[in-house]
Structure formats: structure tokens, C-alpha cells
Structure 1
Amino acid sequence: MSQPSSRPHLTPQFCFNQTALRDFLRISRSAIDDSITQNLNALLTPSSLPFDPHSTSTRQLAHPGASRQIPATQCDQFKQRVLFPSWAVRSDVLDYCASVATSPDPDDPDSIVRQIEDEKVRERVVDERLDPYSGSYFPREARTESLAMLMRNERAVEKIIRFRTWSAIGERCANSYSAEQAFDTWRREQSKKA
């Protein structure tokens, strides 16, 4: 069985290092969600019959009525021990970094540069008849704004990935709840244990 994603050390520097943040999310998603079919297949018990080399000479197709359902106990264990803990770690990272993006950033190294550029633009005399583009000014984006945009994008990606993962699980396991309901129920149970 796969292992859940490990929690990174959460600091504002981790969030502002968008490469590290994206790498963490990419690796976590690829280990569990992107390989959900392989993870589910690993839950099936291999055949108890000895291997017959002649069985590979023809392709064995499943009958249309035959299902590849995974026993409920194994599905539940996978969700409880691997899937939901990985989702929780990613949710915690996204929530933390979103809070960093909405907090004041006194350590922004570009804030002085932006202030100087803004002052220069205000002092500039523009004659748009000579150059219609001379009045254009595109201020630098604060790193909190950039992080907030990244968090919005990553939350949308996370929603899509969870939907696809839950759909794959629904094909092989009995799911009576939506992904959000099941995950929220699991989180409540975990908070009671803590």
C-alpha cells in the first residue's frame, strides 16, 4: 500500500518559494491521486493458484458482468490510512499558504523597488500624442498577490484531482458519499481522536 504524503515544514518562505510549493503538490498528487488505479489494483489479493505460464499466451478478458470490486474493508483502510491523510496534508498546506497570501508581508524584498517605480511614474510627464504607449504602466505584482493567484489555481486543480480520484474509487469501491462529505467526516473523526 502506498504511503500518505509527509507534511512539509510550513513557513512563509516555503509558500513564497513557488517552485518548492508546486513540487510538493505535484509529488503528493502523483504518489496517490495520479496513480489511483495502480493503488487500487494493489489492494486486490493476488490469485492463490500457482502461476501457469500458458495463461499468458491468450488474453483473458473479464466478462461484461464481472466486476473488479475491491472488498469494502480494504477500500476503507486505503481511504483512512493513505488517501485522506494525503488530502489533509495538501489541504493544510493550501490553507496555510492562502493565509500567508492574505497577510501583510513586511519582509517583501521588492516593496522598496515597487515604491520607487510608483514614484517615478507619478513624476513622469507623458505626451500620449507622440507615443500612445508611454502612459502605460504595469506595476510589479507583490509576492502576496502572486501567491494568492497560485493558491486559487492550485485549489481549483485540487478540486478536479479529488473529483477524478473519487470517481475512480467509486468504480471499484462502494461510495455512498461525495468526496467532500467523506473527507469532512474523516477529518471530524480525526479531530475527536486528537
Structure 2
Amino acid sequence: MAQTPESPRLTPQLCFNQTALRDFLRVSRGTVDDTISQNLNALVTPGTSKTFDPTSTAERAPRPIHRRPIDSEACRTFKDKVLFPSWQNRSDVLNYCAGVATSPDPDDPDHVLRQTQDLKARERVVNERLDPYSARYFPQEARTEALAGLIRNERMVENIIRMRTWGLVGERCGNVESDYEKALDTWRRGEGVR
């Protein structure tokens, strides 16, 4: 069974280090969600199928319409021990970083530089007749604004990945719950997760 990566220590430095944040999300998704078919195939116990029928090779079948079903207990264990904890770890990191993005950032190293640039832009004389580009000014984005944009994008990606993964799990395991968010919330209540 796939092992979910450890959740990183939640600090503002993790959030502002976009490479580390994206690496954690990428590795976590790659371990469980991107390889969901392989993970589900690993749950099928070899040798539990009926005995070999030699007449089955007489006709060529394009592809099996139904894949072999997976034992419901194995599916439940996979969801409870691998899938949902992985999703929860990523949700925890994204929620924490969203909080960091909406908080004031007293340690922003570019704060003074942005203030200086803003002051120079206000003092600049604009004559668009002589220079049509003199009015343009593109203020530098604050770290918190860049982080908020990154979190928005990663949440959209997370939603797409979870819908795809849950659809594949539903095909193979026969999910009772059609909405992954409800299933995850049910797991959270059962596991005592916040």
C-alpha cells in the first residue's frame, strides 16, 4: 500500500517558500492520487479469481468491460489509512498557508522597496503626449498576495485531482458516497480530525 509523505512542519517560511510548498503538494499527489490505478490494483488479492479456463483464449476480447472488483474491506482500509490522510495533510497545509496569506507580514523583505517605488511613482511627472508609456506603473506584488494567488490555484488543482481520484475509487470500490467532500467529512468525524 502507498505510504503518504509526512506532513511538513507548518511555518510561514514553508508557505513563502513556494518551491517547498509545491514540492510537498506534488510529492503527496504523486504518491497517492497520480498513481491511484496502481494503488487500487495493488489491493486486488492475486489468486482469488476463478481457475483458468482454456476456452477464454479462443476469442480475442478488446478489453474487459468490468475490472475485477476490489474487496470492500481492502477499499475501506485504503481510503481510511492512505487516501483520506493524504488529502487531510494537503488540506491542513493549504488552510494554514491561506491563513498566512491573509495575515499581515511584518517580515516582508521587500516592504521598504515597494514603499520607495510607490513614492517615486507618485512623484513622477506624467506627460503622455511626449511619452505614452510614462503613466505605466506596475507595483510589485507583496509576498502575501503572491501566496494567496498560489493557494487559490492549488485549491483548484486539488479539487480537480480529488474528483478524478474519487471517480476512479468509486468505479473500483463501489463508493456509497458520490461526493468526495462528504466522504472526507465523514472520515474526519470518525477519526476525530478537526
Q: By the TM > 0.5 criterion, same fold?
A: yes
Residue 169 of structure 2: SS of its match in structure 1? Answer: helix
Report how far residue 63 of structure 1 moved: 5.0
> Counterpart of 2:131 in structure 1: which amino acid?
D
CA distance in 2, matches of 1:48, 1:91: 37
| Alpha-carbon distance, 1:5 to partner | 2.6
Distance 1:129 1:147, change over 3 A: same
What's 1:159 paired with?
A: 159
- Report deviation, 1:4: 2.1
2: CA distance between counterparts of 1:75 and 1:183? 14
Question: Residue 94 of structure 1 aligns to which amino acid in structure 2?
Answer: L
The superposition leaves residues 53-87 of structure 1 with CA deviations (integer Å, 9 ceiling, x where unpaired) of: xxxx99985654x5411011000000000000000
Amino acid at match of 1:179: Y
Letter in 2 for 1:44: V
Any stretches of 5+ residues in structure 1 without a counterpart?
none
Which amino acid letter does the alignment assign opposite residue 16 of structure 1? F
1:109-124 maps to which residues of 2 (within 5 A)?
A: 109-124=109-124
* Corresponding letter in the other structure for 1:76: R
Q: Whole-Å Cα distance in 2 between the matches of residues 4 and 138 of structure 1?
A: 42
1-structure distance, mates of 2:79, 2:11: 28
Cα deviation per residue 1:130-186 (whole Å; 9 max; x = unaligned)?
A: 111111000000000000000000000000000000000011001111101100000
Write out aligned runs for 1:126-145 (5 A). 126-145=126-145
In the aligned structure 2, how far is the partner of 1:103 from the partner of 1:33?
Answer: 31
**1:36 equivalent in structure 2:** 36
List per-residue Cα deviations over 1:93-140 (Å, max 9, x = no partner).
Answer: 000000000000000000000000001011111111011111100000
Matched with 1:25 is 25
Aligned residues: 187
Q: 1:136 to 1:24 in 2, by over 3 A?
A: same
Is residue 33–residue 162 contact of structure 1 (8 Å, CA) maintained in 2?
yes
Tell me which amino acid in the other structure corresponds to 2:37. T
Structure 1 length-normalised TM: 0.90
- The gaps in structure 2 that reach 5 residues or longer are none
The Cα offsets for residues 1-34 of structure 1, whole Å up to 9 and x where unpaired, read as 1112311011000000000000100000000000
CA distance in 2, matches of 1:20, 1:163: 25
